[in-house]
Amino acid sequence: MDLSVSDAPVGRLLDRRYRVESLLARGGMATVYRGTDTRLDRMVALKVMHAELAADDEFVTRFISEARSAARLSDPHIVSVFDQGEDEGAVFLAMEFIQGRTLRDVLREHGRIDPDLALEIYESVLSALRAAHQAEIVHRDVKPENVLISDDGRIKVADFGLARATRSQGNTTARGLLLGTVSYISPEQALGERATPRSDVYAAGVMLYELLTGRPPHSGPTDFVVMRAHIDEDVPTPSESAPVPAVVDELVRISTARQPEVRYADAGDFLAAVRLARAAIASGDSSTGGARHASRVMPVVAPTPAPAGNTNWQDSAADDTSESDAFAVADAFYRESGAPIPANPDHTVDSNPIDLANAFYHENPSSQPLSPLATPPGTQPPPPPPTHGPQQTRVINIEPGEAIPTTGSGADDTGRSGGSGRRTRTKRRRSWRGPILFLLVLLLATAVTIAAWWFGAGRWTSTPPLLNLDPDAAIVQAEEAGLKASVDGEGFSEQVEAGLVLSTDPGPGEQILKGGTIRLTVSQGPERYEVPNLDGMTREQVESALGDRNLVPRFTERHHPDVEEGRVISQDLEAGDEVRPDTEVTAEISLGPEPIDIDDFTGSPIADAREALGSAGFELDVTEEFSDDVAPGVVISQDPSSGTGHAGDTVALVVSQGPEVVEVQVPSVIGERVRDAERILDEAGLEVRVEPSFGDGRLRRQVVRAQSPDPGATVPEGSTVTLYIFGF
């Protein structure tokens, strides 16, 4: 659910203090903006709950609990929460702003990460989770998106929005919604059980698997399929998909066990095991030793009882080992291996930045790790101790100067098994046999050492650093190192200039056979695409043109009087501009002319019809007709008289001229008797009035002396002609 722009637009001042400046990311519960604390003049991240969730008291309570939960935590690897508030319905958090990117961005760029670097990152992540678990808080949404890597290499864990105190009751579901991300959710959460610190351990183990292999362990077409996989299937070992030491496999196996009681009890135990694993790798004891020493902090399920008198270090350490004991074991093994020990006494990872910025500097488009783990030349892992069944490893410590006991019943120095002569002959034989045997053993050891060196490290050398060189110069430098080099492809890069070496396979410092070939990938420079001219295209044509250039189409619509419906009116980016891949290009699509309602003006004055229809953009076709029923100047009929039209359409109007008028010429009746004059005028269609009138009988015999209108005048049919029988 995306936050409406109106909820926190750029420029809005929240709580009269925090100015919203730009969008950073959208999530399931909230949207994160970059902002400024105007009181302290510092950059902050503003997390604003989605408007539709802000109306739900339960979600608001959970959202506010993030501020309270995170504010209780004190660890350099946890994103700090500064403030919480509400402003006109916008519920928000003000948090520490981290300039950088997420661990998900790193995975997208590099595919997977070298085990040693992954464990270095994990010390910071688990340190943050350890602080939460010590405060009895479960994160419940551990995933790469919530691990932030600042530009200077510092690791921060964010988003305690789903966090809940471990003492609180309730399931992980609410209103039918599963809280968390299905790719990292623990089996018990998928079954609706309450989340515990072991649930965070499971999610962290899944994320470690993804860092090492480049993909999550379970996937499917739907969330339900992924959740069932978490419930029914074990997480595979990372070494099945990538070169991973056995001790790291063991970390993933234990942390992602489907039974919670088999996992590490919390992030503190997991962190101790990670440190032990790093120490084992640093000492070259990555195949068995790490697992052996790390077993002190690894849970043991139903161990097989040791035989009487058998001193089993694992068994004695398996029962509810405290976190402080676990870190004591980790420190002991650090010292034993010669690996660096964290300086701070409480064993939290210090806040000094790790060299992640340098580690992730060179882009690697393939799925190869950044710096694959290699056993140092000449170093062989120690042989595994003898085993006597599951979890029955016997560890015997021999103090300096202590005699190693022997077995059997050999003869003593007194020669109880023979006389003095036999002892003398035996001594003579030993006098020459000893040096020969010593010489043979020495020669054999030398041969074995030389063979082991040749087949192990002797045939190998390290790949020279060839990055950011001209390919020809890189080839020359490789030849000087006794190797070959060839250009094997090209790739885009934002950092490496076009024409220079972007990456090598094997990478710099990695092992390669002497005389081997290094494959060079040459930079094409930044990946840019030219924006095409979309004018007049249809929606389908726009999608095709932009898709061919790795650009993302976005559409808006509006009416246009001249552009055909479905065609592009304009675009937001100029044609010919060079832009990054996945840049959004907005095309404005025409909906055709805007429809206009047509009102009926039948029976209304023509002046009203002209003003209304004309101003709406219609063309008028006005005709006139005589009408005995409609007054002159009034609309008799209209076509069309209803519905909608568009500007420029024609509306026909018929206007009344009133009754039709017939004009006649007035005949002359002067000198005629009145009765004859009346007949003549009546035949002409005229009315007669006689002045003066003295009675019909007498009047009709009089002679017309004058008339009005005058003879020959033209008047409408039915007009009245006045006759005068006396002179004026």
User: Which pLDDT tens digit goes with each residue over 546-555?
Assistant: 999 999 999 9
Q: How confident is the model at residue 609 (pLDDT cuts 50, 70, 90)?
A: very high
Question: Left, alpha or beta for 100 (phi > 0: left; psi -120 to 50: alpha)?
Answer: left
Based on the domain organization, do 171 and 196 belong to the same domain? yes
Q: What is the pLDDT of residues 350-400, one digit of tens each?
A: 333 334 444 443 333 333 344 333 333 333 333 333 333 333 322 223 233
pLDDT of residue 54: 76
Q: How far apart are the first and last CA of the chain?
A: 102
d(CA 129, CA 651) in angstroms, rounded, equals 75
Based on the domain organization, do 89 and 118 belong to the same domain? no
In a domain, 431, yes or no: no
Which of 362-371, 446-455, 586-595, 690-699 shows the lowest mean pLDDT across its residues?
A: 362-371
In a domain, 435, yes or no: no
Based on the domain organization, do 325 and 204 belong to the same domain? yes
Q: Are the beta carbons of 617 and 644 closer than 8 angstroms? A: no
Look-up of token digits 């002679």 = 703
- Average pLDDT in the 164-174 region? 40
In a domain, 406, yes or no: no
Work out the number of other CB atoms within 10 angstroms of the CB of residue 361.
Answer: 12
Q: How confident is the model at residue 457 (pLDDT cuts 50, 70, 90)?
A: low
Based on the domain organization, do 495 and 513 belong to the same domain? yes
Based on the domain organization, do 621 and 569 belong to the same domain? no
Based on the domain organization, do 128 and 166 belong to the same domain? yes
Greater model confidence, 271 or 388? 271
pLDDT at residue 405 greater than cutoff 70: no
pLDDT of residue 428: 53
Across 681-703, b (16+ Cβ under 10 Å) vs e yields: beebebebebeeeeeeeebeebe
| DSSP classification of residue 151 | T
pLDDT of residue 284: 73
Name the residue among 482, 463, 485, 483 with its Cα closest to residue 474. Answer: 485
Domain hosting residue 707, numbered range: 663-724
pLDDT at residue 288 greater than cutoff 60: no
- Average pLDDT in the 614-633 region? 90
Q: How confident is the model at residue 180 (pLDDT cuts 50, 70, 90)?
A: low
Based on the domain organization, do 76 and 191 belong to the same domain? no
In a domain, 332, yes or no: yes
Based on the domain organization, do 484 and 603 belong to the same domain? no
In a domain, 39, yes or no: yes
- pTM to 2 decimals? 0.45
In a domain, 108, yes or no: yes
Work out the number of other CB atoms within 10 angstroms of the CB of residue 413.
Answer: 6
d(CA 285, CA 588) in angstroms, rounded, equals 64
- Indicate if 141 belongs to the active site: yes
pLDDT at residue 72 greater than cutoff 90: no
Q: How confident is the model at residue 251 (pLDDT cuts 50, 70, 90)?
A: very high
Question: Which of 62, 96, 130 is a domain's end point?
Answer: 96
Based on the domain organization, do 218 and 250 belong to the same domain? yes
Based on the domain organization, do 508 and 601 belong to the same domain? no
- Active-site hit among 141, 200, 266, 285: 141
In a domain, 649, yes or no: yes
For 100, 114, 262, 360, 558, the CA distances from 357, given in Å and listed in that order, are 10, 15, 36, 5, 47
CATH assignment of the domain containing 643? 3.30.10.20
Based on the domain organization, do 515 and 534 belong to the same domain? no
Question: Which of 523, 543, 561 is a domain's end point?
Answer: 523
Which of 43-57, 326-340, 668-682 shows the lowest mean pLDDT across its residues?
A: 326-340
- Average pLDDT in the 559-576 region? 93
In a domain, 87, yes or no: yes
| DSSP classification of residue 400 | T
Mean residue pLDDT of the chain comes to 77
Task: Name the CA radius of gyration of the chain, rounded.
Answer: 49
Question: Which of 46, 78, 96 is a domain's end point?
Answer: 96
Q: What is the pLDDT of residues 102-115, one digit of tens each?
A: 999 999 988 899 99
Based on the domain organization, do 35 and 183 belong to the same domain? no
Greater model confidence, 468 or 335? 468
Name the domain count of the chain.
6
pLDDT of residue 646: 86
